[in-house]
Chain A
Amino acid sequence: MTAITAVAPRPKSRFLLDRAEVIGPLFIAPAILYVLILVALPFFLAIYYSVSAYTIFDPNYRFVGLKNFTDVLDSDIFRRTLINTFVFTIGAQVIGLLLGKFAAMLLMQDFPGRGLARALVVLPWAVPVSLATLAWQWMFDSLYSVINWTLVAIGLMDPAARWQWLGQQDLAMIAVTVVHAWRLFPFGVVIFIAGFTSVPQDVLDAATVDGAGFWRRNYQIILPIIAPIVVIALIFGTVFTFTDLSVVYLLTRGGPINGTQVLGSLAFQVGILSGDVAHGAVICLFLFPFLLVAVIFLLRVLRRREI
């Protein structure tokens, strides 16, 4: 009896880390801090800048109301940029995911060297964007373009009137979109391969026995089953592309004559390079509503598609 009472009471702190209400907040804290410091703070700062007259030459927080917004909306360059951003985003998604799907279907087949082919496909992802863009710049070069050389060689292009890939606005837009699609392509391939392998073999066999041919199997069975995965890929791809400025900035600097500016590159140009922080912030903020709508829309589709 005495032995039992003699046992010292355990310190309360000993099992502190076993308690969910202690360890939970501890684990979630870094994530919350990250969001607060690196997402929320810049976001509210941008809102604040957007209604001020802040430039790096005259750093004052004088409130100017919505003047910056009307300035930006009245600008032809901005309107062009907005259209470019949509063309760039949608174009790169469509090309990247479509090619990704076809490549994934090819890579699902059994052939010698499949492992190597799969590894090579991931390459565009692994190469730093600056290096890759430099390579593409040579391919689009006005004199040494390998693309033009090929087109001339097979007789599809007049050697006297070679295309200026980065010198004509429409061609330059195609060029930046293609390069970004090329960057998205491995992501598309990986997503589709993951999707295809997640479809149970029994389901595919059942469809085959039930009389479904190649197209029906693909578009009535496989695609609806992997739709949730593809939608996730689409959300990621859209957000990445909409906010991306690296390809445009490295390949064309937004030119020729602002013909390939996207929101990201224009905001960088105006807000950082030209020092007009207030207008740069306004341009940046235009990303927000579009992304919000896109994400809400895609998440809704996803929930409905849930199987």
Chain B
Amino acid sequence: MLGYARFDSSTCTNIGAALTQPTSERPKEAEVAAIATRDITKEFAEVRAVDGISLTARDGEFLVLLGPSGCGKTTLLRIIAGLERPTSGQVLIDGEVVNDVPPRGRGVAMVFQSYGLYPHLTIWNNIAFPLRTQGTPRDEIKRKVEWAARLLGIDHLLARRPRQLSGGERQRVALARALVRDPTVFLLDEPLSNLDAKLRASARSELKTFQQTVRTATIYVTHDQVEAMGMGDRIAVIDHGRLRQVGTPSEIYEHPADEFVASFLGTPPMNLIEREGGSMGFRPENFLPKHLLNGAALVEFPFCVERVEYLGSEHILYGALDGLVAKREVTAKLPAHATLAGIAPGVRCMFAVRETELRYFDRDGRSARHP
């Protein structure tokens, strides 16, 4: 089953063929769990870095672990790779418990935040290293290294050393080195965080295309919600070592499981307003002047605008809701082309949210139905 979805270089000497491999031939991936964790905990001294996380990444899936720095996502990734031992819980790869299997026996490939390239080896030898450790025959190594280098467009760099490469090129080398092993799963630890903003955007789409080409289950750690939303098939939101929510980007964004997820995603994040028995939330882009919303059931709020930010594609309005017991800071996001007639700092306007866009949370911050 796995061999089918895994990218086997022996069948893909022709890269063009690899790129156009029809997806319809693949088995339904939903049933295949490439990797799973069961109740993983990890304690460092007195800190509980990972606190009972159970997750499954399906074969071919791009799963993103998203959370603020220090939330335990990298620790979880290192536990999956076998670089750390969990305090309790199990890691399963291909359905087998691998807690006692060393990293090299797990069939995982990892790309590190600073890439972890071997500075004393040429790019060729860097990519060949994992094959050498497996005792791969010489001609097979040559074939695979050249294949991976071509696929990632670094075949002209093979004679150089890592320090002679740019950040983007190093990242590709790290990917090529991960790729040649035919891993069951790719583990990527913030691989784009060392690139500048412009390069990051293009690397993001390249990485996604690459993953769709090789169809290998990928676990991608990031604290950047744009990366998570843009690349993930599913996103697992983690905070303080706990799994807050797993779901597709739209599920996570539209139906956050709790206040943390609601306030972690979105720029600006969801507005949360205290109410009896919990809180109520709405996204800034759904909080619009009343006259722009018509034909739907609305909830109206008097909004005192305090500041307007023009960001080119949109306006961000900062202000407070009037008339509520607790005055809460809220933001509204208006498309740049929307008219701002009558809206100015210090002015009180009628804003509204569609009832369907309102989210409710109970006293513990968990998602609740409309009371």
Contacts and interface: CB of A to CB of B under 8 A. Distances in A.
Interface of A: 200, 202-213, 216, 221, 224-225, 227, 305, 307
A207 B83 contact: no
Interface stretch (B9-17, B56-64, B116-124): B116-124
Interface stretch (B126-134, B255-263, B276-284): B126-134
Nearest to A210: B130
Main secondary structure of the interface of A (DSSP, over half): helix
Contacts of B82: 208-209
Contacts of A216: 133
B110 A206 contact: yes
Contacts, number: 72
Interface stretch (B33-41, B101-109, B302-310, B350-358): B101-109
Interface in B78-95: 78, 81-83
Contact of A209 (B103, B115, B119): B103
B177 A210 contact: yes
B163 interface: yes
A210 B163 CA distance: 20
A210 B104 CA distance: 6
13 contacts: A202-B112, A202-B116, A205-B110, A206-B177, A207-B116, A209-B103, A210-B129, A210-B130, A210-B133, A211-B103, A212-B133, A225-B118, A307-B163
B119 A205 contact: no
Interface in B264-302: none
Contacts of B117: 203, 206
Contact of A202 (B104, B109, B113, B134): B113
Contacts of A202: 112-116
Contacts of B78: 205
A220 B130 CA distance: 12
Given A208-B102, A210-B109, 10 more contacts: A203-B119, A205-B110, A206-B118, A209-B108, A210-B133, A210-B177, A210-B181, A225-B118, A307-B119, A307-B163
A206 B115 CA distance: 8
A307 B116 CA distance: 15
Contacts of B103: 208-209, 211
Contacts of A209: 81-83, 103-104, 108-110
Max count, chain B CB within 10 A of own CB: residue among A208, A210, A224: A210
A219 to B, nearest CB: 12
A213 B108 CA distance: 15
A50 B133 CA distance: 58
A208 B130 CA distance: 10
Nearest to B78: A205
Nearest to B109: A209
B315 interface: no
Nearest to B112: A202
A203 B133 contact: no
B161 interface: yes
Nearest to B114: A202
A202 B190 CA distance: 12
Contacts of B134: 211
A211 B130 contact: yes
A213 B114 CA distance: 22
A206 B116 contact: yes
Contact of B112 (A206, A211, A213, A305): A206
Contacts of A210: 104, 109, 129-130, 133, 177, 181
A203 B108 CA distance: 16
B83 A208 contact: yes
Contacts of B112: 202, 205-206
A212 B104 contact: yes
A213 B109 CA distance: 15
A221 B112 CA distance: 17
A213 B218 CA distance: 25
